[in-house]
Structure formats: C-alpha cells, structure tokens
Structure 1
C-alpha cells in the first residue's frame, strides 16, 4: 500500500525552495483570488513576496474561519504523563542525555492531575509523554487510558509513533486523536538532530499519519518544528503536501495543523531558520486558505500579546495554562518541564481575552451519549 513516503520521494527540497523564493507579487495576487488553492498558490502564499500582502491574506483567512467555525474557539490542555525518553534529540528538554529528574505518573497521580484539570473547566485533553516504549508504551496506555477517558469529552495523544494495530486498539479504549509532528521533512537535517533511539527512523515517523488513517483514528494532527531545518518555508510546504495526501487517502479522518516554533529548553539549540511573528501569521493564514475546514491550533509556546491578536484571524483551537512536566497541575515542578511556555495565563484569563475579541470559548463540543467514531466504524 502506498504511503506519504512515496509522495515525499517525488519532492525535491532545493527545487521547492527555489520555486517558493521565486514567486512574484502577481503569483501572490493570483493565489489570493483563487477559490481553491493549488500547490503553486500555496508556494506563493508562503513566499517572501507574500509579506507585502499580509493584510488581504489575513482578511480572507478570517472570513473563511468565521464561515466554517463561526465565532467559536475550542480549548484543550496537555497532560504530561511522563518525561522518560529513550531518544537523544538536540532540541528537546526530555532528551535522554539531559540530566533532569525523570517522572512517570502512577494511577493516583494521574487522578490528581485529572481532578485539577477538570476543576479549571477543560474537557478536551491531550496526553503527552516522552518516547519510551518499554516503560511508557502500550501496557501503560492500556492501564490508564480507560479511566482518563471516562472523565473527559475528548482524548488525544502525542506520544511515540505506534503500529497501526496498536492505534486501532487505543481507539477501542477511547482515543479520539493523535498528534504526530515530523519535526522536519529534510532527511539529512532530521538525522542531525535525532542522535539516538527509535526516533532516528525518519520514515517510520513519516508514515505514522498513514497508519493512523488506516486505523480509523478520528483526528490526525500534523506539523513541523519551525526553526529546526534551514528553511521553515519548505518545511511548512511539506506539511501542506502531507495534509493533501492524507485528505485524499483517509477522507473519513479530520485533520489539525499546529505551528510550533522552537522554544528554550534544557540543553536546547538555536533555530537554524528564524520565523518572525509576521511570518507566522502569514503561514497560519496560508493554511486557512488552503484548507478552510481544517483545525488550526496555537499553543502556549507563543506570547499572550501575539495569541490575543492572531487567534481571531484564523485559529480555532488553543491551549491555555499548559504545564509541560508530569504532575504540573497538582504539584508544579518546573525542573521536569519539556520547554518553557510563553503564555502562562490561567484559562479564564485567555477566555476573557477571546470574549473581548467577540469570540466564544468552547470547553466541550461532544458528549458520550452522542456516540463515538470508534463505536460506529
């Protein structure tokens, strides 16, 4: 069966970079007028030439967002279950070579975290771990997912890539979605930053969304770690290619795109390519024009000032008050964190800012009595 790897092999990084950088103002204007974006149009909207068209780009993105999602913005929160990791990555605070305290939550600690999160009003939960198949793998997930799922309306995961059969099993335990970020789509740059562990396998990770689609997972999240490669523009275009592939082959699934920029962490690196805030707005709005129906998510990696101004344009899914360490909600231990969030406002503060912008915060958009995808497929 074909996977995105087959499409990826047809794509030439340097050629894409030249084509993006060669786009003209006329190409950008053509893309802005298009009813449905082509790949060339997406290149134009990611290009340096599009920087001068940020206002009309943002205006069209906002119109499309309001047409598709109304004035609603959904809230989610990450729950870090473990910072154990068997990989050595240059940019991550959980990297096995970093001398930090390690922690994996047990049943009692998970219950305390869930209670603290529910007390803040969250119903959409993202479970996050380091990548340690032995100690935080399927046995751990089988043990804890059902109890967590009973407490929340939506359950998603961001963990190590798994086999298709494992995703199918997790779906029966209540899993709704999986976020898996390729980090960078440039194979040799990927190898430079992933020094040890299973994460060194570029293609196993690249084909993870295909396995998710084959397993019938409802929501699949994509993204690149912006700044890891020498061209954020090419990486973002590769995310667009990946999205288009998946939508064509696994049309029953929904999709989510995130835009994480490198943040400070223990033992971390400096970005290889810098994306400023205007360029991030440009990229977010380009994705809205490419895929009006797709969830676009913005995390607490970004500043309060930036989030308050960008969310009303094209974002329809946000996190708030994120703790990036295990046990961070019931007992805050910053020394365990994966990276330092930039927006540390409490959820009610973020919600008030959205309301002031004319938006409606959504804490819950599903209930068990409605049935679930895993029950009907």
Structure 2
C-alpha cells in the first residue's frame, strides 16, 4: 500500500506525521531563480547562523546560473570555516552483523539476496575488531547492524559496552554512535543507557511512493514508523540524532528539502535539530539492479552539499568513503565536517588482513580505500586539523546545549583546541615519523593563533610526556 502523506500530515506535534510530499513537490515546481540581491539576502540569513525555510532552500536550488552558484559555494565555504574552523572529525564504521529481514532493493544485505554471506561478530571478535581500530588510532566508531530480531536493544547495548570496555595500549574508544533499526521508546532508552553518542537512522528516501517501491517487505516497509523514529528517540532522552538520505533513489532536490523539513520538525517539537546529516550516493552492491536508480552527478552533488551547509548552518555534515578521495577533499571545503577513514565494510574486516573488496560480504562498494594514516596525512597537508574530539559529548554539551554553543559560533573556540589535543595524541602514539614531524608543525602554527594559547601549549606538553585524554 502506498502511504498518503496528505492524509496524515499535521502541524508539528511530537509523534505526528509532519512531512507533506505534495507540499515539497509544489515548492519545487513553482520556485523561480532568485535575483542576486535576493540570493544575498538568503545567504545573509545563513551567515547569521539561522536555519533556512523550505522556500529559501528551494531558491538556492533554483539559483543555477554560474554567478549565483559561485556565490553559494563561496558562502558555504566561508560559513563552514567560520563555524567549524579547519578541523575535520574522523571516525570508522564497525559492522557488527549483516543478518536482515528487510528487502531494500539497493542493499547487499537484503533478505532476498542469496549471494550475501551472513555473519554476526562474537563478543571476542568485537573486542578484536575494536583493538585493531584502536591500534590504528581511532577514538570514534559507529556500530552498524542489519535489522533482525537478534539485534534487539539489549544486544545493541551489550555490544556498545563491549566496545567501550576494550582497550589496546594507549588506545580507547571514547564515543560509540549507532546505525541500526528504528526502535520503540523503551528500546531507545535501553540503548541510551549504554552511553551511546548519536543514533543515526536513514530515511533513505522521503518520497513515500519511491519508499514503497524500494522497501517492498520487512519492518522497514513501514514509512511512517521510520519517519517518526527520531521523535521516539528524543522522547527516550537521546538528544543527539543523525538524519540521512540515500541519493540515487529519486530527485536530490526533493530529498534536500525533506531533510530541511525534518530538521524544522525536530527543532519545533524538541528544541534541537539533528546533530548530523548524511547524504551518501548509492554505490554498487551485491546483485544490485541499477536500472531502477536515478544517479546524482558530481556537480549536482557538490551543489547539494553547499546548499545544505547554508540551510542548516550548525549541523554536522558527514561524507563517507563511498565517494572518491578527490571529491571528498573538495567537499570538505564547502561544508563537510566529518568523514570516515580506513574503512572496511566486511564483517570482521579490520582483523582479516584482506585489502580486497568482496561485495557478497559487504553492504556496498567503497571508493576511498585510503588508510587512516593516509587520510590524516592528506588533511594535514591541505591545512586541515584531523580531530578525534569527543569533548562535547563527554562534557554534556549535547542536544540543546550543543545547539546553544554551535549556533553562537563557539564550536571553533572549544573544538579547535580539543581537535589539536586529540591530533597530538595520534601523532605521539600512532603516526609514521614523517607525519609526526609535519603534524606537530601544524599544531604549533594553529596553537599560536588561539586565545587559549598558553593553556593549550601546557596541555600539549603534558601529552608529549605521556598524559592522555586532556580536554577543554
């Protein structure tokens, strides 16, 4: 049955439908390209750290002449640098299990894919994978699960505690995020009590008709239950949530406006928007039928990222290793604030020693296969600060508190020193010698320009002497 949003869409109230697909389509049909003066007004709202409306975001989409597009890219870059400085947060995905009872047409893990090789890590294997990631230098993970009764809230919570409890030398995981099925309120509470960071759920597509086509069976076929998952998470006390779409199923402009509408809803009902937004483009997967897809070209993808940065100035934007390295490097300039590095998608891939991709063992195909050290060297060489910071999460600067800091531009003040401290830890404990030398030079230049220079330099020296986990 096709879900009819017109039948259920109501004003913003927690737990009620909020997205009207026909409203979004109507805005996209009727929007006209703004004049340059109108465009400057819209961009000015973004530069004041104010979230844009659907109509304003649509106007940015319609602004497709070269001068207007250049203005959007320039503004997105300036806003990103002013809000986030030049730090890039690094993390890695850890796939716990690929058993699944859904039949998502684009996913290698789908239940009907007989070629997929199913596996769930044992507790000992989770510990081994975690140690391997710690030995590379990671401090932040996102645990990924198929949707299956075996991966219930108690199981997810247990795996989170296992990861937190696993230490390798100086290494430790300080923030565990989750990418898993939507839960009921009690389920979200169970997972929250394990000390998670962000709970991430992709709507995949906000278009209800496309959603029904690509999700023909399994619990995920319930569009409304998935759409309202973040409401239930908020009710359960999880104030850091991550939204996402899978680009390539439908019109990217529609999905962009829907992400903004979802953000509006969360802010209206709970006083806080999403902590992160993800927007991966679909990649090759085991037994994938590509004839039903709507690929998004690189230039449209770049425009979307820049527009999204302007539409939600204070929200973290995640770009995964699905994308090639050169494109990821460009998009960091326009608004991306978090990337994964050294990623392996095979269950048990961090300890297998294999560098070969096998789609029958993975959810999709990677494009950026660089190691963590290679990614960090590239960032450092381009003047970026690699960051493993978890200070806001552990200092209670989450949810509304995070919004208070980020919307006032305090991220740079707090997060740049913390990024430098975590970068220094990486250099001391894991970096090849050449990277260690160049990285400390970068830290010296960055520290000299900060208002907390003396206090920061004192903490950096303590890290050189062997102390760890110093934060502002």
Q: TM above 0.5, one fold?
A: yes
Q: Distance in 2 between matches of 1:235 and 1:368?
A: 29
Q: 1:365 to 1:142 in 2, by over 3 A?
A: closer
1:347 aligned residue (363, 372, 377): 372
- Does the alignment pair 1:265 with 2:278? no
2:42 aligned residue (14, 31, 35): 31
Q: 1:10 to 1:253 in 2, by over 3 A?
A: closer
Shift of 1:51: 6.0
Q: 1:364 to 1:32 in 2, by over 3 A?
A: closer
Q: Distance in 1 between matches of 2:24 and 2:331?
A: 29
Q: 1:186 to 1:373 in 2, by over 3 A?
A: closer
1:113 aligned residue (129, 137, 152): 129
1:293 aligned residue (310, 314, 330): 314
- Does the alignment pair 1:243 with 2:250? no
- After superposition, what is the alpha-carbon deviation per residue over 1:290-342, rounded to whole angstroms, capped at 9, x for unaligned? 22211011100110111112212211111012112211111147331000111
Q: Map 1:53-92 to 2 at 5 A.
A: 53-92=68-107
- Quick check: 1:153–1:368 contact (8 Å CA) kept in 2? no
Q: 1:373 to 1:234 in 2, by over 3 A?
A: closer
Please name the residue that 1:203 is paired with: 224
- Quick check: 1:121–1:363 contact (8 Å CA) kept in 2? no
Instruction: Tell me the secondary structure at the aligned position of residue 65 of structure 1.
Output: helix
2:391 aligned residue (359, 362, 366): 366
- After superposition, what is the alpha-carbon deviation per residue over 1:125-166, rounded to whole angstroms, capped at 9, x for unaligned? 10001111x212223223322121234111111111111121
Q: Map 1:26-175 to 2 at 5 A.
A: 26=36, 28-34=39-45, 35=48, 36=50, 37-47=52-62, 49=64, 53-99=68-114, 100-132=116-148, 134-150=149-165, 151-175=172-196
Instruction: Tell me the secondary structure at the aligned position of residue 293 of structure 2.
Output: coil
Q: Distance in 2 between matches of 1:212 and 1:260?
A: 23
1:15 aligned residue (26, 34, 39): 26
Q: Distance in 2 between matches of 1:142 and 1:202?
A: 25
Q: 1:371 to 1:25 in 2, by over 3 A?
A: closer
Q: Distance in 1 between matches of 2:53 and 2:202?
A: 24
Q: 1:253 to 1:218 in 2, by over 3 A?
A: farther
Q: 1:92 to 1:15 in 2, by over 3 A?
A: same
Structure 2: state its 5+ residue gaps: 1-11, 166-171, 402-472
Shift of 1:373: 6.4
Please name the residue that 1:284 is paired with: 305
- Quick check: 1:127–1:158 contact (8 Å CA) kept in 2? yes
Q: Distance in 2 between matches of 1:344 and 1:19?
A: 42
Larger Rg: 2
- After superposition, what is the alpha-carbon deviation per residue over 1:253-309, rounded to whole angstroms, capped at 9, x for unaligned? 652111111100012232633321121111111121122211011100110111112
Q: Distance in 2 between matches of 1:14 and 1:60?
A: 26
- Does the alignment pair 1:315 with 2:336? yes
TM-score by length of 2: 0.74
Please name the residue that 1:330 is paired with: 351
Shift of 1:369: 7.2
TM-score by length of 1: 0.91
Q: Distance in 2 between matches of 1:298 and 1:3?
A: 29
Structure 1: state its 5+ residue gaps: none
Instruction: Tell me the secondary structure at the aligned position of residue 181 of structure 1.
Output: coil
Shift of 1:72: 0.8
Q: Distance in 2 between matches of 1:242 and 1:254?
A: 9
Higher relative contact order (CA 8 A, sep 6+): 1
Shift of 1:9: 3.6
Runs in 1 of length 4+ with deviation above 6 angstroms? 371-374
Instruction: Tell me the secondary structure at the aligned position of residue 344 of structure 2.
Output: coil
- Quick check: 2:96–2:126 contact (8 Å CA) kept in 1? yes
